[in-house]
Amino acid sequence: MRILGIDPGLRVTGFGVLEKHGSRLQYVTSGVIRTGEGTLPARLRIIFEGVAELVDTYRPDQAAVEKVFVNVNPQSTLLLGQARGAAITALSVGGLEVFEYTPMQLKQAVVGYGRARKEQVQEMVARLLTLTGTPGKDASDALGVAICHAHSGETYAALAEVSPALAAKGLRVRRGRLIG
Give the tens place of pLDDT for each residue, 22-42: 989 999 999 999 999 999 999
* 167: pLDDT strictly greater than 70: no
How many structural domains are present in the chain?
A: 1
Distances from the Cα of 16 to the Cα of 43, 79, 133, angstroms = 20, 22, 14
pLDDT over threshold 80, residue 164: no
Q: Which residue numbers are catalytic?
A: 7, 66, 138
Arithmetic mean of pLDDT, 125-153 = 94
CA nearest to 27, candidates 4, 50, 10 = 4
pLDDT in tens, 82-100: 999 999 999 999 999 999 9
Q: Are 129 and 5 in contact (CB under 8 A)?
A: no
* Total-model pTM: 0.85
What is the bridge-based pairing of β-strands 62-66 and 12-21?
A: unpaired
Phi first, then psi: give them for residue 15, nearest 5 degrees: -140, 155
Neighbours of 9 (CB within 10 A): 21
CA dihedral 54, 56, 57, 59 (to 10 degrees): 90
Helix (H, G, I), strand (E, B) or coil at 136: coil
> Worst-scoring range by mean pLDDT, 19-23, 43-47, 136-140, 153-157?
153-157
Q: Domain range for residue 66?
A: 2-179
* Under 8 Å between Cβ of 173 and 159: yes
174: domain CATH number is 3.30.420.10
- Binding residues for Mg(2+) are 7, 66, 138
